[in-house]
Amino acid sequence: MPTGQDIVDLALKHLKEPYVLGAPVPKDAAGWKGPWDCAEFASWLVYQLAGYLYGCDTDTGNPATADAYSGWWARDATAKGRAVGLTVAINTPGAFLIRKPAPGMIGHVALSAGDGTTVEAYSSRMGVIAGKTSGRRWDLGVLVPGFDYATAAALDTAYEAPGLVLRLMIPPMRGALVERVQKALIDQGYSPGEPDGVYGPHTAAAVAAFQAAKGLLADGEVGVNTRKKLGVN
Amino acid sequence: MSEISDAIQTALQSALNAAKPTTPVARNFVTSFLKGRAVAFVDIAEGLASGDIDEGTARYLLVQEGLLLTAEAEAVAGLSKVALQAAADAFLKSLTDSIKALLKIAL
């Protein structure tokens, strides 16, 4: 049985390869060198080592054309197992970290190296990177069935939450920070709608467009990196 | 807001007290995970105090943080067989009580 560390070792061979949002990846193409999308990269790793489709639109379809998506990763974490907490995922080489997509937005999937770092297809500017788990918002961790995982017994890898992240929620987030973000987007030529201090779908879409143009992860959420790029305190 | 920093230290100590007997996993859960999540509580409290987010948003985010802490305690307990719910509950209660008192809001 392949191990979680095998996933990490394979992923690390693909650092710096190019990223394209939504780029299809044939999961059965062992020599694929990109372009990668975050979920496509994660599903490709699983297929290469375990020989089955995970996080895709189909379990039994053609691996050459199966479509991977963060939302289907979240679905499979529940339906096929095993969804685990962030603490476990961060302390387990080969676990995956998922940020679920908001309606109309993209989410994200990253591979945990088990030591507080990640390997992930990140953005058009940075490609496949070794990143950090801390300072970022995650919804859940996943141990993919069919792999032998070794979780650090002490669970001692530190994780720091990202602080305030503006994002689509029901009810929507409101406040002066949202309004400052909206005004900054307008100043830079984007269309978040009226700067009313309500973080709705138009604002999220404008944020995603801004992020894509700046080579950031275009998830429509405003964390520290996006605030810096927008010049918003 | 130094009061918030003090509140976090108090909440972490409450969690450690509730986690006794303190196994390495329980200690790491408090000093790594709960301490790491405290950043989110600070940002929410500071955001509310400054008007960056309104009270409804702050209340919702704090509820979400509470749910996340509970789920996390369950997940770690499931793996380690160390009961952590009391630690998470003590941390959450101490910190939210402090935030309510400091900002004079109902959560």
CB contacts, 8 Å: B53 with chain A: 164, 173-175, 177-178
Torsion sign, CA atoms A122, A28, A81, A22: positive
% of chain A beyond a pLDDT of 90: 82
pLDDT digits (tens, 9 = 90+) for A79-132: 987 888 898 999 999 999 999 998 888 899 999 999 999 999 999 899 999 999
* Out of B38, B51, B76, closest to residue A85 by CB: B76
The residues pairing with A127 across neighbouring beta strands, listed in sequence order, are: A123
Phi, psi of A96 (to 5 degrees): -115, 145
Report, as an integer, the average pLDDT of A153-177.
90
pLDDT tops 80 at residue A53: yes
Report, as an integer, the average pLDDT of A32-55.
97
Sketch the domain layout of chain B as residue ranges.
2-103
pLDDT digits (tens, 9 = 90+) for B42-70: 889 889 989 999 999 998 998 888 888 88
Report, as an integer, the average pLDDT of A138-146.
94
How many whole angstroms from its chain centre is CA A230? 21
**pLDDT score for B104:** 75
Read off the pTM: 0.90
Beta-carbon separation of A87 and B72 below 8 A: yes
pLDDT digits (tens, 9 = 90+) for A145-164: 999 999 887 788 888 889 89
Q: Chains A and B: how many Cβ contacts under 8 Å?
A: 84
Pairing mode, strands A117-123 and A96-99: unpaired
The phi-psi region of residue B88 (left if phi > 0; otherwise alpha if psi is between -120 and 50; otherwise beta) is: alpha
Beta-carbon separation of B24 and A164 below 8 A: no
**pLDDT score for B72:** 87
**pLDDT score for B106:** 65
Chain A interface includes B47 (CB < 8 A): yes
pLDDT top residue among B15 and A40: A40
Minimal Cα–Cα distance from A85 to chain B, Å?
Answer: 5
**pLDDT score for A69:** 96
Own/partner pairs, A34-37, CB within 8 angstroms, 24+ separation: A34/A127, A34/A128, A36/A121, A36/A127, A36/A128, A37/A68, A37/A121
Specify the length of chain B in residues: 107
Minimal Cα–Cα distance from A4 to chain B, Å?
Answer: 17
| Average pLDDT value over all residues in chain B | 86
Q: What are A137's two structure tokens?
A: 């918002």
**A 49-88 residues inside an 8 A Cβ radius of B:** 84-88
Beta-carbon separation of A164 and B28 below 8 A: no
Please tell me the number of Cα atoms within 13 Å of A227 on its side-chain side.
15
Minimal Cα–Cα distance from A17 to chain B, Å?
Answer: 32
Report, as an integer, the average pLDDT of A47-63.
95
**pLDDT score for A27:** 98
- Strands (E) in chain A, as ranges, are 83-84, 96-99, 108-112, 117-123, 127-132, 140-142
**pLDDT score for B101:** 85
> Is residue A142 a contact partner of residue A73, using CB atoms and an 8 Å limit?
yes
What domains can be seen in chain A, in order of their start residue?
4-142 (3.90.1720.10), 176-230 (no CATH)
pLDDT top residue among A157 and B1: A157
How many whole angstroms from its chain centre is CA A72? 12
pLDDT tops 90 at residue B81: no
Given strand A140-142, what is the order of strands in its sheet? A83-84, A140-142, A96-99, A108-112, A117-123, A127-132
| Average pLDDT value over all residues in chain A | 94
Distance from C-alpha of A209 to C-alpha of B83, rounded to nearest angstrom: 44
Minimal Cα–Cα distance from B52 to chain A, Å?
Answer: 4
CB contacts, 8 Å: A153 with chain B: 25, 80
**pLDDT score for A40:** 98
**pLDDT score for B107:** 61
